[in-house]
Amino acid sequence: MDNGSSHENSKNKRIGKAVEVSAQLFLKNGIAPVKMTDIADECGIGVATLYRWFGTKNGVTIAAMTYMWNELNNMFSGIFESDVFLLQPGIKQLSDLMRMFIVLYQAHPGFMRLLSEFDLLLISENIPKKDLREYERSIINFYSVFEKAYMTGISDGTVREIPDIKLFYLSFAHTLLELGKKLIQGELLPNDDFSHAEDELSTIIDAAVFFLRKE
């Protein structure tokens, strides 16, 4: 039994390594140009083994994107559990939470580009929703922290009550994420001017904070 457990642990480590390598290759080159043979060669395994583990390149890609979201979640989670964050007024906590989308845009442009490419892949490959459950769970969701910050703001008098705080959060989270992805893609039309990209994101956040603030 010990040998079986040791073998399973070794296999899981190799699978985890393949996911990590895939993520690095996708960040460097994009999803489409990377072949299964590229991933296998980089990992030092046979391509047949890679197919046995993941089934298809789509399987590897979903696993890699899930891995990258989880890494970002781990990076951000400590911030919102710190005394520095929790001792702030509720309205400041809410503002800081939304500004994480600017951090995502500034510090992780390669990942933001991959998100756009991955969205197109989901559509073109018609990937079943059942295959995306783990990926969906991994996507950064600040709602639980956002709701707690909102309740702090209600208690300390810095935030006004609104009818549906979850709808409010989803509206602005989707807006900020999609705008960040568009800005990362670069200027496409003659009149596009993304030289003030961060100001665009900040304007949306400022509008949300203004709406939430209790006068």
**Which carries the bigger pLDDT value, residue 144 or residue 9?**
144
Ramachandran region of residue 34, left (φ > 0), alpha (ψ -120 to 50) or beta? beta
Share of the chain above pLDDT 70, in %: 98
Rounded distance between C-alpha atoms, residue 39 and residue 45, angstroms:
9
Ramachandran region of residue 187, left (φ > 0), alpha (ψ -120 to 50) or beta? beta
Q: Quick check: 1 pLDDT over 60?
A: no
Quick: pLDDT tens for 83-109: 999 999 999 999 999 999 999 899 899
Share of the chain above pLDDT 90, in %: 76
Residue appearing with tokens 């707690």:
148
pLDDT category of residue 3 using cuts at 50, 70 and 90 = low
pLDDT category of residue 61 using cuts at 50, 70 and 90 = very high
Quick: pLDDT tens for 7-20: 678 888 999 999 99
Superfamily per CATH, domain 1-55: Homeodomain-like (1.10.10.60)
Q: What confidence score (pLDDT) does residue 54 get?
A: 95
Rounded distance between C-alpha atoms, residue 123 and residue 129, angstroms:
11
Buried residues in 120-149 as b, exposed as e (16+ CB within 10 A): ebbeeeebeeeebeebeebebebeebbeeb
User: Half-sphere exposure of residue 81, counting CA atoms within 13 Å on the CB side?
Assistant: 6
Decide yes or no: CATH 2.60.40 for domain 65-212: no
What's the mean pLDDT when you consider all of the chain? 92
DSSP state of 35: -
User: Half-sphere exposure of residue 192, counting CA atoms within 13 Å on the CB side?
Assistant: 11
pLDDT category of residue 6 using cuts at 50, 70 and 90 = confident
Where in the chain are the domains?
Answer: 1-55, 65-212
Rounded to an integer, the average pLDDT of 191-206 is 92
Rounded to an integer, the average pLDDT of 113-128 is 93
Rounded to an integer, the average pLDDT of 26-55 is 95
pLDDT category of residue 178 using cuts at 50, 70 and 90 = very high
Q: What confidence score (pLDDT) does residue 8 get?
A: 76
Q: Given CA atoms 166, 172, 175, 177 in this order, what sign does their dihedral have?
A: negative
Rounded distance between C-alpha atoms, residue 193 and residue 183, angstroms:
9
Q: Please, is 71 exposed, middle or buried when counting C-beta atoms within 10 Å of its C-beta (0-12, 13-18, 19+)?
A: middle
Rounded to an integer, the average pLDDT of 50-68 is 95
